[in-house]
Amino acid sequence: MPESVTAKSAPRASLLARALARPHWLAPPLGGLLALSFGREHAAGLAVVALAAFAALLWGTPLQQAGARARRGALLGLGFGLGWFATGIWWLYISMAVYGGMPALLAGAAVLLFSLYLALYPALACALAAALAPPAGRGAWPLARGLGAALALAGAWTLAEVLRGTVFTGFPWLALGYSQVGGPLAGVAPLLGGYGVGFLTVLVAALLALASQLSLRGTAVAVALLLAMALGAARVGQLRWTHADGAPLRVALLQGDVAQSEKFRPESLAPTLHLYGGWLERLRADLIVTPETALPVLPEDLPPHYLEQLQSTLRSAGTHALVGIPLTRGADAYTNSVIGLGGARPYRYDKAHLVPFGEFIPYGFHWFVRLMNMPLGDFARGTLDQPSFTVQGRRVAPTICYEDLFGEQLAQRFASPSQAPNVIANLTNLAWFGDTIALPQHLQIARMRSLEFQLPSIRATNTGVTAIIDAGGRVTGQLAPYTAGVLLGSVQPAAGVTPYAWLASRLGYAPVVLLGLLALALGAAAARALPTIRD
């Protein structure tokens, strides 16, 4: 080969060698791989593989100083988080650019900046976990030190996720536990909740990643622990804390498929009222559920006697209905609400957890909202312990769209076992996000709520996914997204309170925070007790 060709090849080889020696560039693609496990069936293992590869990357440094490892861990965590969130919540661009009228470049920048903010949480977790892990060296890590590093990563990750789900009212979308719905680890949800499932997911991934640092004997122990965890989760998943209560309820779930661009236009009001009013008058079921704001105007702006006519028709037919509609509280306070029709007494539920920028404008961000052509404003909040809607003697607990992401808040309704819900009903409108992965992601979240409380869930959505979910988190019926129709089926009410519901109703996030702190403390103790690496 001519020398000139060899000389030109050498720099390329050295560039590749340097890239492999400093593999920070791998973090964002691995984060993107993790994002692909959300909203997809049979993808629970993908999340574990992505996290295991990332943990091996996080631990694969010979840096001796804990501070240096922490800085490297923060950088890796930031890159991983950016890939994770930018890939997983890109659909926010649709709401801002397509339906909000924001310039495309500005909308894209907003999604990127928001993803960067969310990435700060895994960056914080990885900085702490990397500082507590030993440096990679020529010899294997001691088993106790390796297990301590795995616990530290799981604990720090879980605490960071709780922070992400609570700071500034929280954004727990893509919380790791949701990726495991349908997987073997989901069986522990009635005990530990979604955050607890996420803790075990990180721990499993970390134990897999330890194969890159432990001796053959240590790896065998880690594999044995993995098998024990899998068997334990399967066993726990067979436990039943709730039981069937009464006869199944016949339900009719409405999906109007009203385009978001048309939903609030005055000329669209009459067709929308005709669509939902016709269904409510004709259908016969124990419970009919409409989507969020199916009736998109205040009661005083409806045609005369519209609601009174529906109430009379439903009562005479022995049918109950949960109807999404905006209401007022006082002179100038608006609420995103649900009213119950067909019962002997009026029923009202006001959304308790509002969406930032959608239902309230954070302080200092009115300029941002003015860039969008959306009917936004500041809504009033409902309380977390509002009563359920009674249907055939069973209690149906409404939630409105985004607030079903907050299991610890929903758990407040289980503080009194005698008044605990028997069915969860979510009324949703995701038309803001188009025909995207946001729809199955939200369905996955609803399935986690059913797993945590071992209760059936029913979902009525504007564009999808309208579905019936049993107490084991399995979808037993659903409508195709972006079609107008009615999902008819039955749902078996359940009674009882899971350990997760009991603890969260009294202690909120404290149990999962204590779990994360305990794991972190054990990791720190292992780091202090065994500071050196065995050659």
Q: Beta strand 249-255 with 485-491: parallel, antiparallel or unpaired?
A: antiparallel
> For residues 141 and 212, what is the distance between their CA atoms, to the nearest angstrom?
10
Determine the pLDDT at residue 324.
98
User: Does residue 241 carry a pLDDT above 90?
Assistant: yes
pLDDT value of residue 93: 96
Positive or negative, the Cα torsion across 330, 357, 400, 167?
negative
As a whole number of angstroms, the distance between CA 237 and CA 265 comes to: 48
* SS3 call for 506: helix
For position 101, what pLDDT does the model report? 85
Same domain, 437 and 521: no
Task: Please report where in the chains the tokens 């999902």 appear, as a residue.
Answer: 487
Residue 265 CA: distances (Å) to CA of 272, 306, 395, 432:
10, 19, 35, 15
Which pLDDT score is estimated for 9?
A: 40
Domain range spanning residue 124?
22-240+511-529
Do residues 136 and 68 both lie within one domain?
yes
- Assign 366 a pLDDT band (cuts: 50, 70, 90): low
Q: In the prediction, which pLDDT does 365 show?
A: 65
pLDDT for 531: 56
Same domain for 193 and 132, yes or no, is yes
More confident residue, 221 or 371: 221
pLDDT at 7 over 50: no
Q: How many other C-beta atoms lie within 10 A of the C-beta of residue 327? A: 18
Q: Is residue 474 part of a domain?
A: yes
Is 520 found in the same domain as 480?
A: no
Same domain, 288 and 180: no
Confidence check: pLDDT of 373 > 70: no
Q: pLDDT, tens digit, for every residue of 391-421?
A: 999 999 999 999 999 999 999 999 999 999 9
Domain for residue 357, yes or no? no
369 inside domain: no
What's the average model confidence in pLDDT over 168-181?
96
Residue 253 is assigned to a structural domain of this protein: yes
Phi, psi at residue 112, to the nearest 5°?
-65, -45
Enter the tokens of residue 7: 């000389």
What is residue 378's predicted lDDT score, i.e. its pLDDT? 76
Decide if 468 is inside a domain.
yes
**β-strands 485-491, 347-350 pairing:** unpaired
Give the rounded distance of the alpha carbon of 340 from its chain centre: 27
In degrees to the nearest 10, what's the CA dihedral of 350, 440, 413, 245? Answer: 120
437 and 291 both lie in a single domain: yes
pLDDT for position 16: 41
Contact 64, 130 (CB under 8 A): no
What pLDDT is attached to residue 377?
Answer: 61
Q: What is the CATH number of the domain that holds 345?
A: 3.60.110.10
Nearest CA to 100 among 358, 293, 356? 358
Q: Which pLDDT score, from 0 to 100, does residue 357 have?
A: 72
Domain for residue 174, yes or no? Answer: yes
Map tokens 């109007």 to a residue.
256
Give percent of the chain with pLDDT exceeding 70.
Answer: 91
Q: How big is the chain, counted in residues? A: 535
The pLDDT of residue 260 is: 84
90: three-class secondary structure by DSSP: coil
Indicate if 83 and 198 belong to the same structural domain.
yes
Q: Are residues 97 and 189 in the same domain?
A: yes
User: Which residue matches tokens 């106790």?
Assistant: 144
Torsion angles phi and psi, residue 249, rounded to 5: -95, 135
pLDDT digits (tens, 9 = 90+) for 133-145: 999 887 899 999 9
Mean pLDDT throughout 296-317? Answer: 96
Q: Does position 369 have pLDDT exceeding 60, yes or no?
A: no
- The tally of domains found in the chain comes to 2
Rounded CA gap, 429 and 403, in Å?
12
> Which residues form the catalytic set?
292, 351, 401
Is there a single domain that holds both residue 205 and residue 300?
Answer: no
Residue 15 Cα to chain centre, angstroms: 40
Confidence at residue 391, expressed as pLDDT on a 0 to 100 scale: 98
- Out of 177-181, 232-236, 337-341, which region has the weakest mean confidence (pLDDT)? 232-236
Whether 12 shows a pLDDT value over 90: the answer reads no
Residues 250 and 232 in one domain: no
Contact 341, 310 (CB under 8 A): yes
Q: What is the pLDDT of residue 22?
A: 62
Q: Is residue 443 part of a domain?
A: yes
Is residue 316 domain-shared with residue 450, that is, in the same domain? yes
Q: Quick one: pLDDT band at residue 225, thresholds 50, 70, 90?
A: very high
Supply 534's token pair. Answer: 């065995």
Tens of pLDDT, residue by residue over 88-118, are: 999 999 999 998 888 999 999 999 999 999 9
CB 520 within 8 A of CB 264: no
By three-state DSSP, how is residue 42 classified?
Answer: coil
The overall average pLDDT reported for the chain is 91
Q: Per-residue pLDDT for 35 more than 50? A: yes
Expressed in angstroms, the distance from the first to the final Cα of the chain is: 43
Helices (DSSP H) in 139-188: which residue ranges?
Answer: 143-164
Percent of the residues in the chain that have a pLDDT greater than 90, as a whole number: 80
Average pLDDT over residues 300-305: 95
Q: Is residue 314 part of a domain?
A: yes
> What is the mean pLDDT of the segment spanning 378-383?
88
User: What mean pLDDT comes out for the span 337-350?
Assistant: 96
Confidence of residue 119 (pLDDT cuts 50, 70, 90): very high
Q: What is the mean pLDDT of residues 359-379?
A: 63
Considering the domain architecture, whether residues 422 and 519 belong to the same structural domain is answered as no
Distance CA 248, CA 245 (A): 8
In this structure, what DSSP letter does residue 170 have?
Answer: -
Higher pLDDT, 357 or 428: 428
